[in-house]
Structure 1
Amino acid sequence: MTAHTTKLKRIISEMESTELNTGSEIRAYCDKARDALKSMAVELEFTATELQSRLMELPPEGNEGRMKVRTKARTCARHLRKSAKAARTGAAEATRTWASITRQFEYILGPVKKVKPKKILNLKI
């Protein structure tokens, strides 16, 4: 079990207890969803690499060569890599959920504070 798996279990247990009654709870839930999906993406990538390595070690079938086994292993691992990509997309969508809520329900949440950009340098030439 990797550190990401442990983190994922902790995040999911925290998400289950969220009631979504306040704006801060909704935002915290969206942040936790993003973190969970990012951890899931990393876990899937690691597993895809491990699966591909293990499948490449298998003996070839009949008269096929080692290259055929490598191609088959890469094909099988590709599905987990696509799952990892989908999890990363899900993490981005979880972040967009909060942004959408702040736009659509601004009248309930209150106006969003606009941050004035800070000047880095005051150069006089």
Structure 2
Amino acid sequence: MGSHPVNLLIRFLLELIALLSVGLWGWKSFEGALQYVLGLGLPILMTIVWGTFAVPDDPSRSGKSPIPVSGPIRLVIEVIFFALAVWTLDQLEYTRLSYALCVIVLVHYLVSYDRIKWLLSKRNSGN
């Protein structure tokens, strides 16, 4: 289920929303050069982390992992990624959107229980 095309599309959309949320927070919360650094730099940094640290042979990804990590570490990265998006929406006073994003992410992970189980079984990055 976690690698079903519809679920992958939903995850991709959630990732885009998370990047937009963090970028919007950086842009609206600061002024001057910091506005550009955080508004553009944070989403770029998050994209790099998201794409770089992966579990080898993850069926929901290409299977490639530039920097292999264990499943639990990858799960922590994902939780931080989405939690940051929820927090930034809340900080921007888009409270209902932050709650909605949180609920959608939680439902997505509940539906992806097979992927969560797989991630938790991958204790070593070489497995």
TM-score normalised according to structure 1 size: 0.36
Query: Which protein is bigger by CA-based radius of gyration?
Result: 1
Q: Relative contact order: is structure 1 or structure 2 higher (C-alpha 8 Å, sep ≥ 6)?
A: 2
Tell me the TM-score normalised to structure 2 length.
Answer: 0.36
